Amino acid sequence: MNFEDTKNLQSKILEIYSRVAEESKSLQGQWNLSCLDSCGECCFNPNITAREFEFYPLMFHLLDVNELEDFYQKFWGENSKKSKNIQGGVCVLLETKSSLSLENSQSLNSYRPGRCSAYEFRPLVCRAFGVMIRKKNDFYESSICRLIKKQYALHSEKFEEYLSSHHVNKEEVLQCVEDFAYQLNALHPEFLNQKELPINLAMKSAAEKILFLSSFHGYDKN
């Protein structure tokens, strides 16, 4: 893909991301489930994977504000002290907080607080955490964070009971993570060929690609 193709695709990726967010918000409201205040527990998983193209929107945003080169050098440059995260580890976008409120500490036995520093541009895998629906064989199943399940046990059980009674091919169609992944794959043939990578490596690959393409394009953000 050339620069213009990639730039046009990133806006379409964001449109799909927006639909994922709307679906998750709708499910949370319908079933009285929600993420916990200041919780970043899912982001501490060192085994999260993503594909390069999932980070194109973030990289074009950084390019627009003239921060892409600095972003790349901060984490993967020759003098970066954070370069150990290239092959894996916790996502470099995670910002941690040093303490929990007393209320949160008491309501949950423990969780690690934090937030995404690029939340608006987070990839599909991150949007699948929290409250979403997945397909398993011919049935739907819930995708609910274990902390949400614990905090809202009764509501979680009702949601899971509802999904267990729905057959994928015979009942009403429910929006699933797999459906959104299919929509992303359909945007360009190259997306189907991209492999899942450790999240930081996928991010690095995306940054390198956009830096390379923009260097030959003479990019003007206007």
Structural domain includes residue 29: yes
Task: Assess contact for 6 and 13: CB atoms under 8 A.
Answer: no
Task: Assess contact for 114 and 94: CB atoms under 8 A.
Answer: yes
Structural domain includes residue 222: no
Domain of 19? 3-217
10/188 Cα distance (integer angstroms):
11
**How much is the pLDDT for 83?**
58
Structural domain includes residue 204: yes
Structural domain includes residue 121: yes
Q: How many domains does the chain have?
A: 1
Quote the percentage of the chain above a pLDDT of 90: 56
Structural domain includes residue 150: yes
Q: pLDDT tens digits, residue range 25-74?
A: 999 999 999 888 888 888 888 899 999 999 999 999 999 999 999 999 99
Structural domain includes residue 85: yes
Residue 137 pLDDT greater than 60, yes or no? yes
Residue 104 pLDDT greater than 60, yes or no? no
**How much is the pLDDT for 42?**
87
DSSP state of 113: B
Structural domain includes residue 50: yes
Q: pLDDT tens digits, residue range 14-31?
A: 999 999 999 999 999 999
Structural domain includes residue 60: yes
